[in-house]
Homo-oligomer: A and B are copies of this chain.
Amino acid sequence: MTQGQETRKRLVETAAGIFNTRGYSGTAVSDLMAATGLQKGGIYRHFESKEQLAVEAFDYAFEMAVRARFQDFDRLTSPLQQLRHFIRNFVHRRSPIPGGCPMVNTAVENDDGNPVLKQRARQAVNVFVDRLVDTIERGIEQGEIKRDTDARTFALLLFSALEGALVVSRLQGSFKPLEAVALTLERYLDERVDLDERTASGKSSH
């Protein structure tokens, strides 16, 4: 990596925390200069505009959120266990980027705001929810989850309830609301377990 590439990478990583904390409107180029020690010209050597930097910073923050929430996800073979693990990760694992969930932050600020960032948030939510839909569908196929489960609706419920509870928790300065909602979702998941299929296929209960 050249020095220029390293500077660019560091700029994106630092900007991710600032944009995710203060928002796109709330971040001035002077904030980015102060945080990175770069002059305005140094920033604009790497990025055409504040918007372009914000988009790359969002992509980075999103990637970090996905890594935290899906950590060790692929090491599990059971879709049911993957879903339980996802819920627990959401509560207990933190992205290193401060400021809460980049998807919700960017969505809420830009749903009537910057169209490029709104589109980016929309794609990110789709990718994220689709991964849950895929997991639930595999769970149904493998006989772990009841066949009458609507995979997309269930995925949306998981995403919406956890994200909503995270907003409440950050507001209250306590993770209790998120923990309580996560536990309810785990119990809800337990009720979706296809016990008949599991017994029929000789699988042991968890």
CB neighbours of A185 from chain B (8 A) = 157
Give the docked Cα–Cα distance between A100 and B164 (Å). Answer: 14
How far is the CB of A190 from the nearest CB of chain B, in Å? Answer: 12
CB neighbours of A113 from chain B (8 A) = 22-23, 26
Interface residues of A in 94-145 (CB under 8 A from B): 98-100, 104-105, 107-109, 111-113, 118, 121-122, 125, 129
Give the docked Cα–Cα distance between A142 and B196 (Å). Answer: 35
Whether B171 and A107, one on each chain, are in contact in the complex, defined by CB atoms closer than 8 angstroms, is yes
CB neighbours of A125 from chain B (8 A) = 168, 171-172
Give the docked Cα–Cα distance between A171 and B99 (Å). Answer: 20
A153 partner, pick from B109, B111, B162, B180, beta carbons under 8 A = B180
Interface residues of A in 129-188 (CB under 8 A from B): 129, 150, 152-154, 156-157, 159-165, 167-168, 170-172, 177, 180-181, 183-185, 188
Whether B153 and A159, one on each chain, are in contact in the complex, defined by CB atoms closer than 8 angstroms, is no
CB neighbours of A111 from chain B (8 A) = 99-100, 167, 170-171
Interface residues of A in 50-84 (CB under 8 A from B): none
Q: How many residues of A contact B (CB 8 A)?
A: 47
28 contacts between A and B (CB under 8 A): A22-B25, A22-B113, A23-B23, A23-B26, A25-B25, A26-B26, A26-B109, A98-B112, A104-B164, A107-B167, A107-B170, A108-B109, A108-B167, A122-B172, A125-B168, A150-B180, A153-B180, A153-B181, A153-B183, A154-B184, A157-B185, A159-B168, A160-B161, A160-B164, A160-B165, A160-B177, A163-B164, A191-B191
